[in-house]
Amino acid sequence: MNDKWILAIDAGAYEVKGRTKDEVFKFRSTIGPYRHLHLGNQMGIGDYIVEYGEEKLFVGNIAWRECHAIREPRDISKAHEETKIRVLVAVHQYGQTKGNCVVVGQPIHGMVKKDREKIENMLLGVHTITVNNVKKTFDIEEVKVAPEGSGAYFSMADRPEEIANIIDTGSSTFNYLRVEDGYFIDRKSGTLAFGAETHREMTENQMTVAILAELRGKWHLAEPTYLCGGIAEYLLPYMKEHFKNIQLIKPVHYRTNGAKTYSPQYANAFGFYTLGKAVFTDE
């Protein structure tokens, strides 16, 4: 009997997006210290009170509403405690007691051995965490760290056989990935150290200009290009002025009751799930 349970988790700085065999989910990434609320907790969907180790935290919408000191590191690596908390909350909500196999994303320029190993080591093993007064102990048996943008590529049902250029528009970084004949091309891929939340003063047009400057000499603008991420749909009209063959990645979840199409912000999560089925033994 195979008891592996794959959780694909795109632990973004603005929202956590994820996919399991049965569910597609997201919740706000915001983390901050717990405090007594004199007007009552007024808990809603996406509000989490988390106890882990010696810490008691607000996570999600309630942290955004009520925390004075928000913990939101925004850099080109996710090898930090906030990623761990976000992933553990996701596993608490959508995982199982045993057999959890997690695929999590990391910006392309953060794909160095030290950071990959740190993410793996901080997630692997047995964890006890309480979320909204429900205490659970579970085991994360395997962890795969994948470059952001690669999930978007694997989420496409009809992947191009020759060239695919992917732009992943995140809240703290933009990642661009070049794929040729199924190979990821490192010298034509990378990370831009800004995102939709880190540089709020930038307009969509200014973001497009910054992307073009980065890609100059690396990609041909007439090549097949695919856009995903949280602000992909807002950027698309501006990108179309320069990229002659660009389209959104909208992943599809096929279930017995029919297919459902999701927005481009879920592309990495869907692709990470596909990757998880390839590298882990499936459910």
**Claim to verify: residue 238 and residue 114 sit in the same structural domain:** no
User: Using alpha carbons only, how large is the chain's radius of gyration in Å?
Assistant: 19
**Claim to verify: residue 232 and residue 185 sit in the same structural domain:** yes
pLDDT of residue 195: 79
**Claim to verify: residue 122 and residue 135 sit in the same structural domain:** yes
When the pLDDT of each residue in the chain is averaged and rounded to a whole number, the result is: 92
**Claim to verify: residue 77 and residue 188 sit in the same structural domain:** no
**Claim to verify: residue 182 and residue 237 sit in the same structural domain:** yes
**Claim to verify: residue 118 and residue 219 sit in the same structural domain:** no
Q: Predicted confidence band at 39 (pLDDT cuts at 50, 70, 90)?
A: confident
**Claim to verify: residue 21 and residue 128 sit in the same structural domain:** yes
**What span, in angstroms and rounded, lies between the C-alpha atoms of 42 and 98?**
32
**What span, in angstroms and rounded, lies between the C-alpha atoms of 115 and 34?**
28
End-to-end CA gap in the chain: 9
The residues that bridge with 246 in the sheet, in sequence order, are: 225
Q: How much of the chain, in percent, has pLDDT values that exceed 70? A: 96
Contact 267/228 with Cβ under 8 angstroms?
yes
pTM: 0.93
Ramachandran quadrant class, 217 (left: phi over 0; alpha: psi -120 to 50; beta: rest): left
Q: Predicted confidence band at 231 (pLDDT cuts at 50, 70, 90)?
A: very high
Paired tokens of 35: 């405090």
**Claim to verify: residue 66 and residue 172 sit in the same structural domain:** no
Q: Predicted confidence band at 64 (pLDDT cuts at 50, 70, 90)?
A: very high
Q: In this predicted model, what pLDDT tens digit does every residue of 114-162 receive, in sequence order?
A: 999 999 999 999 999 999 999 999 999 999 999 999 999 999 988 888 9
**Residue 85 in 3-state DSSP?**
helix
Identify the CA nearest to 91 among candidates 101, 81, 82.
Answer: 101
Identify the CA nearest to 134 among candidates 52, 28, 30, 41.
Answer: 52
* Range from 33-47, 91-105, 124-138, 188-202 carrying the lowest mean pLDDT: 188-202
Inform me whether the pLDDT recorded for 53 exceeds 60.
Answer: yes
pLDDT of residue 199: 67
Residue 25, domain extent: 5-149+253-279
Structurally, the chain folds into a number of domains equal to 2
Interval 246-255 mean pLDDT: 94
**What span, in angstroms and rounded, lies between the C-alpha atoms of 229 and 219?**
20
* Range from 132-146, 194-208, 235-249 carrying the lowest mean pLDDT: 194-208
Contact partners, residue 190, CB within 8 Å, separation at least 6: 108, 109, 175, 176, 214
The residues that bridge with 178 in the sheet, in sequence order, are: 165
**Claim to verify: residue 128 and residue 18 sit in the same structural domain:** yes
pLDDT of residue 252: 94
Inform me whether the pLDDT recorded for 168 exceeds 70.
Answer: yes
**Claim to verify: residue 56 and residue 175 sit in the same structural domain:** no
**Claim to verify: residue 19 and residue 92 sit in the same structural domain:** yes
**Residue 243 in 3-state DSSP?**
coil
Strands 183-184 and 174-180: antiparallel
- CB-CB neighbours of 225 under 10 Å: 23
φ, ψ at 78 (rounded to 5°):
-110, 20
Any idea what the CATH number is for the domain that residue 110 is in?
Answer: 3.30.420.40
**Claim to verify: residue 19 and residue 128 sit in the same structural domain:** yes
pLDDT of residue 2: 61
**Residue 203 in 3-state DSSP?**
coil
